Amino acid sequence: MSLIHKYITSKPLWVNILAGIGILFVLVFLFFTSLSWLTGFGKIEKVPSVTGQNIVAAKKLLEDKGFDVMIQDSVYIDSIARQAVVRQSPEADATVKAGRTIYLTVNRTIPPQVEMPNLAGFSVKSAEMYLQSLGLKMGDISYKPDIARNSVLEQLFNDAPIKPGTKIPIGSVISFVLGSGMGGGDMDVPNVVGMTLLEARNYLSTMNVNIGSVLAAGAIKDSAASFVVRQSPEVLTDSIGANGLRVPNKMKQGQLIDLYIGAVAPPKDTVQIQRN
């Protein structure tokens, strides 16, 4: 060490400075020359498409081309194969540096589960949208008599009722039993002849009977204050029963009744005939 020190100190200062600068340039040159070898600078590869392939095959293909592979996330899509690559980053055909890490999103083998909601009382459209938000599918639709038309009465899974809160796999198919809009039993046709239109509406709503068409019989200034002069179906049929009286007409809850209105109330005997 003393010899090196003696050699350096024996030279003029300017010689030592030049020697130091020369050594620095050599080191910088060697560094940048070896940089491309150390980092793979200048070596690029085109990323192959592995979307849709099984993760094992996709990983082998990428690693054979010098890429590192990392599974970044997993999702569940029932329309593609289990353990298939759903997404890749960078995307296919991207030109990247050799040795770069390719991140993959893989389809799950086992679907996650969700809780079955309580859709009773929902309209069929609202129920379908709710199912879709949970990753469930709507299956068959059947009807049974009920005044709640197109409203969900029962929810079924594998043809059996399913309780709210039950855990089921995403992608499961849920079937519905909906109300047909008509009650199960027959009732006598209500008589609203002689009532104002407003009175008729209120009365029919209490009986779960819907108004169909409202037809004007002549000029009417105020329909709300007009009178019902005729209705269809009528209260009585043309048939005569064993008691010698006309047989009452029948209808179901939820059926429609058409009303004919006029500015003047019908004669009382007409109303009486309707009611008898």
150 by Cβ neighbours in 10 Å (0-12 / 13-18 / 19+) ranks as middle
CA distances (Å), origin 238, targets 245, 246, 248, 252, 270: 10, 6, 9, 19, 16
**Spatial distance between the Cα atoms of 235 and 195, rounded to a whole number of angstroms:** 14
pTM: 0.50
How would residue 20 be classed by pLDDT, with cut points 50, 70 and 90? low
pLDDT tens profile 261-275: 998 888 876 544 554
- Mean pLDDT, to the nearest integer, of 152-156? 93
Return the CATH number of the domain spanning residue range 114-179: 3.30.10.20
- Mean pLDDT, to the nearest integer, of 87-93? 91
- Note the pLDDT of residue 132: 93
- Note the pLDDT of residue 42: 54
Q: What is the DSSP string of 64-107?
A: HTT-EEEEEEEE--TTS-TTBEEEEESPTT-EEETTPEEEEEEE
- Answer yes or no: are the C-beta atoms of 175 and 154 closer than 8 Å: no
Res 23 pLDDT > 60 = yes
- Note the pLDDT of residue 256: 86
- Choose which CATH entry (3.40.50.150, 2.40.160.10, 3.30.10.20, 3.30.930.10) describes domain 186-275: 3.30.10.20
**Class of the CATH-defined domain 44-107:** alpha beta
- Mean pLDDT, to the nearest integer, of 26-46? 63
**Spatial distance between the Cα atoms of 272 and 264, rounded to a whole number of angstroms:** 16
pLDDT tens profile 178-211: 887 766 678 889 999 999 999 998 898 877 788 8
Res 223 pLDDT > 70 = yes
**Spatial distance between the Cα atoms of 143 and 163, rounded to a whole number of angstroms:** 19
Nearest to 214 by CA among 272, 235, 227: 227
Res 2 pLDDT > 70 = no
